[in-house]
Amino acid sequence: MWRKLWLFNIPGLTKIFVWKAITNCLPTKKNLFKRKVVKDALCPVCRKEDESICHALWSCSGSGDVWACEWSPVQKWSANERDFFELWSEWSLRLTQDQMELIAVVLRRIWFRMNGWVFENRFKGPNDVFSQAANCLSEYQQAQETQQTQSKQSNSQCGRALHWKPPEGDTVKVNWDAALKSDDRKCGMGVVIRDSCGDVLASLCSCRLNVSNPVIA
């Protein structure tokens, strides 16, 4: 299950958020109450039950309306209270990776929605929450595809640049390289001189002592 999570094509912050939720590390009212940070553990949205992680992200009416959206892959699932680890495990078994990636992003958006209610007295509509999560995920994955394409093109160009090309006309080409063993201040070098047909005219393999840095080498 952990391996699947880290391989998801979602933002890194979302992966960390889900990991915190699964390991019960989010600062819910219930967790804060246990540490005597707040005076009660009641959910700030529904004010009916303690705000556990599963309640905040799944079973509360303040999150259930988001999961009831028509685009939700868990639209008709029963929103019963349970350990969030068990809920995530069931999702992992029954849903595809694409659906799980969407759910992960929606979970974090629901958390932002609750914080908006607590700290800014504003509450986004469920369709807005779900559509923003879907758009965010789509934009991220498109950006990842673009970056991978550009990286492949760049690597391809670099690969072509490494192939040796003969010089033009009545000229020769000199290629050289050097390696430095800094502890011994010892440099090894190689030189090859070739003509326009690619034939080797001269070559050198040598060693030099008392070389201090790669630039000198």
Percentage of the residues of the chain whose pLDDT score is greater than 70: 96
Q: What is the pLDDT of residue 160?
A: 58
- More confident: 182 or 172: 172
The per-residue DSSP string of 87-133 comes to HHHHHHHHS-HHHHHHHHHHHHHHHHHHHHHHHHS----HHHHHHHH
* DSSP H or E segment with residue 154: helix 126-162
Q: How far apart are CA 58 and CA 52, in angstroms?
A: 10
Predicted local distance difference test score (pLDDT) of residue 56: 95
At 184 the pLDDT is: 86
Predicted pLDDT of residue 161: 55
Query: What pLDDT shows up at residue 155?
Result: 67
pLDDT score of 139 more than 80: yes
Phi, psi at residue 207, to the nearest 5°?
-135, 145
As given in the structure block, the two tokens for residue 179 are: 């390696």
Distance CA 10, CA 108 (A): 12
Please give the Cα distance from 162 to 129 (Å, whole number).
Answer: 49
Rounded mean pLDDT, 26-46: 94
What is the side-by-side strand order in the sheet with 173-181?
A: 173-181, 186-194, 200-209
pTM: 0.69
Write the pLDDT tens digit of every residue in 148-159: 888 777 766 665
Predicted local confidence at residue 13, as pLDDT: 94
pLDDT tens digits for range 75-131: 889 888 899 999 999 999 999 999 999 999 999 999 999 999 999 999 989 999 999
